[in-house]
Structure 1
Amino acid sequence: MKLPLPLDMEPMLSAISDSGVPKGDGWEYEPKWDGFRTLVYRDGEEVELMSRGGRPMTRYFPELVPAVRGLAQKKLVLDGEVIVVGAKGLDFGALQQRVHPAESRVRMLSEATPAWFVAFDLLAEGNQDLRGLPLGERRKRLELLLKGVKKPIFVTPYTRDPKKAEDWFEKFEGAGLDGVIAKSWDGPYLPGKRLWVKIKHQRTADCVVVGWRRTSDGSTLGALLLGLYDKKGTIHYVGHTSSFSAAERKELIKKLKPLETKIPEEEWRANPGRMPGGLSRWSRGKDTEWVAVRPELVCEVTYDKLEAGERFRHATGFVRWRTDKPPKKCGFDQIASAASFDVRGIFGGK
């Protein structure tokens, strides 16, 4: 490929805001998509999709290649996200399953769960490097380039109005989006720099400690393993929390030692994915060895999303112990559910 930007370029990044949507005339706001960050390179018939970490992704999403080749500009670099849309909105689990070593399965999944590419920046056009231009100018060129484009390629909407951004923050969660991103309207594109601001949903939940896992070197406690009860009174593993100092980890081992018990394999055998050590799409390639404890301790944690209604998407943040709350009261019913919203509505019903 003969393009003005290298294939291994790191994309521009964002930092989390703890104070909500930033206000001021200098900001532009966009929905925060829950997908794979992807740079799209095209030079004539050659098309490459590259992950945020510089990993080639083209073979996993073959249905996007002809769509990119169909664009008017023969040489370009786009920044955006690859997403999969399911019956209830964005489906990150289905997106993860698209990354598979077998070509036959990749082909089958490209038809069963086809991906979309949502573009939000134009970094190169022809032989011109656009990264030094203000975002507003790059946005203008992006919309002109992709005017009239059809599925599976979309242009993300944007607004300069912080009140509308706050409305999107609440409304679009029902379609599976993460929140909103704020960007400097006059800012250049700086690879690897965390100058964009992401505003994500953060909530709290009371969880039962069902076990713990050691650090990778086995020297100390690495994470507490968390559980929630369903309506039938059955406990399910939902994730972990690991935000502890070295001193706190030593104290936690002392606290948990008297509660250690045998792993309840008999109880969970019917559905081993419920166990912290159970095989699932979340645990592939990870060390699943753990120490079970009696479900007697309750802690409050912060989380951003319960993926597929069954496990926390990311590691949770430990807030405090809840000695006042009975473990059996820690159920899935406390998890907030956003009002449903059709992803297509974000693109004007396309």
Structure 2
Amino acid sequence: MAKAPALTTKPMEAEPVDELPKGNGWLYEPKYDGFRCIAFRRGDTVNLQSKNQKPLERYFPEIAGAIEALPMDQVVLDGEIVIPEGFETLQLRLHPAASRIKMLSEQHPAQFIVFDLLAHESGSTMAQPLSERRAALVEFFRTIGKNKTVRIGDATTSRATAEKWLGKSGLDGIVAKRLDEPYQPGERAMRKFKLWKTLDCVVAGLYYKEGTERVDSLLLGLYDDDGKLNYVGRSRVYKDAEEIGHILKPIIGGESFTGRAPGGVSRWSGKERKPIPLKPILVAEVSADHITGDHMRHGARLLRWRSDKRPEDCTMDQIRDRRR
């Protein structure tokens, strides 16, 4: 009997692709918009592990309780923690006060959408091909019956069916996995495809790499109906950082963001980053894969500079008209 995965097991990851893979032998799954999680159940002990191997059970007691109530002594599940109201509501759980977590779990209960079975009472299944693990997962949910908190994720072998999922609320794209491959912890063995939106933004600030004056990120803004410049996201600088630094140096300072501003303590790292303000005179064309709450949740891609575009023409309607 194969030994069950340890708590140090990393989730299998995905490589971004420009289109969904074609041909036979692929399983397509929705990429849910939530927190990746591996759930470990051993006897009366439940551990919810984040993608970065941080404990999540205190933030999601309803999920920990639902897994503890399952009719088996051992199981390891890979999935996504979501809240139907959206990602912003989900983020509110990362709060230090137990009383607030309890209140939020009652008002906005989370769900654990499972897409892989890594172990059951007979031991680890990670060496088995996905086709066998998926069949075992379907049987697992048939055994436990209907569960409003822990549920199986959708899957299809039809690329056409998967493409119809794109743009649906609560989804972040499509993941494709080989049916004949084992589970590969920490490896980019899956493929993920997302829809990207293109928009023009004012470059109104920057972050330096910690301890240096080398540009790390551009801080992007859009004007609202009141003429205020609101922070909407950032774009990491992976190349030409020195050249971009020279371009931006003469415009450091000034009013910068006049509406919603960047900065503050990161909910994830607990560290505070100090934004460097820039005069809002440069425009960049960027692409973003997910926009919620008038904000690019993930980093945008810098495509090109727009010297032909006036900053005041970069408005919030670009986001609001395209929001899915």
Check whether TM > 0.5: yes
The corresponding residue for 1:333 is 317
Deviation at 1:189, TM superposition (A): 0.8
**2:119 corresponds to 1:133:** no
Structure 1 distance, partners of 2:276, 2:65, is 49
2:265 and 2:273 in contact (8 A); partners too: no
Give the 3-state SS of the residue equivalent to 1:293 in structure 2: strand
Structure 2 distance, partners of 1:323, 1:306, is 25
Give the 3-state SS of the residue equivalent to 2:62 in structure 1: helix
The corresponding residue for 1:33 is 32
Identify if the C-alpha distance between structure 1 residues 256 and 15 changes in structure 2 by more than 3 Å, giving closer, same or farther: same
Unaligned runs of 5+ in 1: 269-273, 340-350
The corresponding residue for 1:166 is 163
Structure 1 distance, partners of 2:4, 2:268, is 39
Give the 3-state SS of the residue equivalent to 1:66 in structure 2: helix
Give the 3-state SS of the residue equivalent to 1:210 in structure 2: strand
TM-score normalised to the size of structure 2?
Answer: 0.92
The corresponding residue for 1:17 is 17
Runs of 4+ in structure 1 displaced over 4 angstroms? 280-284
**2:123 corresponds to 1:114:** no
Farther off after superposition, 286-295 or 62-71 = 286-295
**2:200 corresponds to 1:209:** no
Deviation at 1:25, TM superposition (A): 0.9
Deviation at 1:180, TM superposition (A): 0.6
Structure 1 distance, partners of 2:202, 2:268, is 20
Identify if the C-alpha distance between structure 1 residues 244 and 190 changes in structure 2 by more than 3 Å, giving closer, same or farther: closer
Structure 2 distance, partners of 1:219, 1:232, is 34
Identify if the C-alpha distance between structure 1 residues 204 and 186 changes in structure 2 by more than 3 Å, giving closer, same or farther: same
Query: Cα RMSD (Å) of the superposition?
Result: 2.1
Give the 3-state SS of the residue equivalent to 2:303 in structure 1: strand
Matches within 5 A, 1:40-59: 40-59=39-58
1:210 and 1:226 in contact (8 A); partners too: yes
Deviation at 1:26, TM superposition (A): 0.6
1:183 partner letter: K
Structure 1 distance, partners of 2:123, 2:283, is 57
1:29 and 1:158 in contact (8 A); partners too: yes
Give the 3-state SS of the residue equivalent to 2:136 in structure 1: helix
The corresponding residue for 2:298 is 314
Deviation at 1:142, TM superposition (A): 0.8
Deviation at 1:44, TM superposition (A): 2.5
The corresponding residue for 2:234 is 240
Structure 2 distance, partners of 1:211, 1:252, is 12
Deviation at 1:222, TM superposition (A): 2.0
Deviation at 1:66, TM superposition (A): 2.6
**Which among 242, 250, 257 is matched to residue 250 of structure 1?**
242
Q: Deviations over 1:281-304 (max 9, x none)?
A: 769734432222221111101111
1:71 and 1:146 in contact (8 A); partners too: no
1:117 partner letter: F
Give the 3-state SS of the residue equivalent to 1:63 in structure 2: helix
Q: Deviations over 1:84-127 (max 9, x none)?
A: 111xxxx2222222122222222122112211000001111103
Farther off after superposition, 283-292 or 33-42 = 283-292
Identify if the C-alpha distance between structure 1 residues 100 and 72 changes in structure 2 by more than 3 Å, giving closer, same or farther: same
**2:227 corresponds to 1:229:** no
The corresponding residue for 2:7 is 7
1:42 and 1:69 in contact (8 A); partners too: yes
1:312 partner letter: M
Structure 1 distance, partners of 2:262, 2:5, is 43
Structure 2 distance, partners of 1:129, 1:144, is 16
Give the 3-state SS of the residue equivalent to 1:144 in structure 2: helix
**2:154 corresponds to 1:157:** yes
Unaligned runs of 5+ in 2: none
1:72 and 1:145 in contact (8 A); partners too: no
Identify if the C-alpha distance between structure 1 residues 47 and 236 changes in structure 2 by more than 3 Å, giving closer, same or farther: same
2:283 partner letter: V
Greater fraction of residues in helix: 1
Identify if the C-alpha distance between structure 1 residues 65 and 285 changes in structure 2 by more than 3 Å, giving closer, same or farther: closer
Identify if the C-alpha distance between structure 1 residues 285 and 320 changes in structure 2 by more than 3 Å, giving closer, same or farther: same
Indicate the percent of aligned positions where both proteins have the same amino acid.
39
Q: How many residues align?
A: 320
